[in-house]
Amino acid sequence: MYQRKLRQVCSVLPPQLAAMVSQLPPEQEEQLEELRLRCGSEITMVCGGREQPLSLTRPMLCTRDLLEHLVNLASSYSTYAVEECLRQGYLPLEGGHRLGLCGTAVVQDGRIATIKDISSVNLRVAGQHLGCATALLDALGPNPGNVLLVGPPGSGKTTLLRDLVRQLSDRLDQRVGVVDSRGEIAATVRGQPQMQVGRRTDVLTGVPKDQGMELLVRTMSPHWVAVDEITAKADIRAMVRAGYCGVRLLATAHAFGREDWQRRALYEKLRKRKIFTNLVFLDGKRRWTLERVEEGC
């Protein structure tokens, strides 16, 4: 499985870089989380949460040409075909991996039109931990209410959400609609989800979360609607509306623990109206605690 993952990653790398990555020892291969390329600096990788040089014996400098080559390969030499993703600073890759991009943003009418002069790239190797939500789903019971996964960046919210979606769909036979605005949950490439999200799951990509939720509720009549990262008031308004339609919600939110969640103004409406009856707090070590909230209005 790791070898397959590595092959997918290598297929978008320029040949000289692919050769280095394919020579990684098996233990690093398994733990590979990210490849980081910064123009003019040595290429590094993140393995087991630690950033280190890609090769200690043959250090490789990242050049502009290498970055250009990498971005061209990742977009199949067609950045216009992935313009919307580029606006959001990433490129989706086959296998669910993704390329995060940094450079000079071109802003038109107050909106990022594209990113040019790419200066650094973060290739995130996708990892799907099948079964990681089993214990949580058991704890939630047979007929769970709305679930919110709260945790800091890198705490595994999306991974847990993805497996919850998969298990709700396959294990509990529920229809799940996923609004995957940034392609992080299902990682759809040309209509094909690259991650296992379940047999009864419908994925809507490339649409803002609030519009996506409304669209899914209207057209796919899901039992559940899942979204990753509540970041705007519009998302919360759409959730409230979806809740009125009898759809159950599954979402993630950024916060460093319970206190931080209570403090954040963005989530005030969610807290007051008690939209989510199951709050799952994740720490940075992939552990979670479930807190039940009495149902709101």
Work out whether 11 is an interface residue with other proteins (CB under 8 A): yes
Residues 219-278 that bind other proteins (CB under 8 A): none
Q: What are phi and psi of 224, to 5 degrees?
A: -125, 145
Among 2, 7, 40, 81, binds other proteins (CB under 8 A): 81
C-alpha triplet 92, 1, 14: angle, nearest 5°: 45
CB atoms within 10 A of CB 219: 11
Member of 31, 114, 119, 174 binding other proteins (CB under 8 A): 114
CA distance 262 to 56: 45
Q: Which is closer to other proteins, CB of 75 or CB of 169?
A: 75
Q: Say whether residue 83 binds other proteins (CB under 8 A).
A: yes
Please say which residue, 69 or 223, places its beta carbon nearer to other proteins: 69
Q: Which of 32, 36, 45, 75 binds other proteins (CB under 8 A)?
A: 75
Alpha carbon distance 136, 282 (integer Å): 11
Shortest reach from residue 8's CB to other proteins, in Å = 13
Note whether 198 and 165 are within 8 A (CB). yes
Name the residue nearer to other proteins (CB basis): 51 or 65: 65
76 binds other proteins (CB under 8 A): yes
> Is 44 a binder of other proteins (CB under 8 A)?
no
From the CB of 40, what's the least distance to other proteins, in Å? 18
Q: What's the min distance (Å) between Cβ of 234 and other proteins?
A: 26
Q: Which amino acid is at 185?
A: I
Asked if 47 and 28 count as a contact pair (C-beta separation under 8 A), the reply is yes
| Backbone phi and psi for residue 105, each to the nearest 5 degrees, phi listed first | -80, 135
Beta carbon of residue 73, minimum distance to other proteins (angstroms, whole number)? 5
Instruction: Say how far apart CA 155 and CA 253 lie, in whole Å.
Output: 11
Q: Give Cα 207 distance to the centre of its chain.
A: 15
**CA-atom Rg of the chain in angstroms:** 20
* Residue span binding other proteins (CB under 8 A) among the ranges 46-54, 61-69, 199-207, 209-217: 61-69
Contacts to other proteins by CB under 8 A:
11-12, 14-15, 65, 68-69, 72-73, 75-81, 83, 113-114
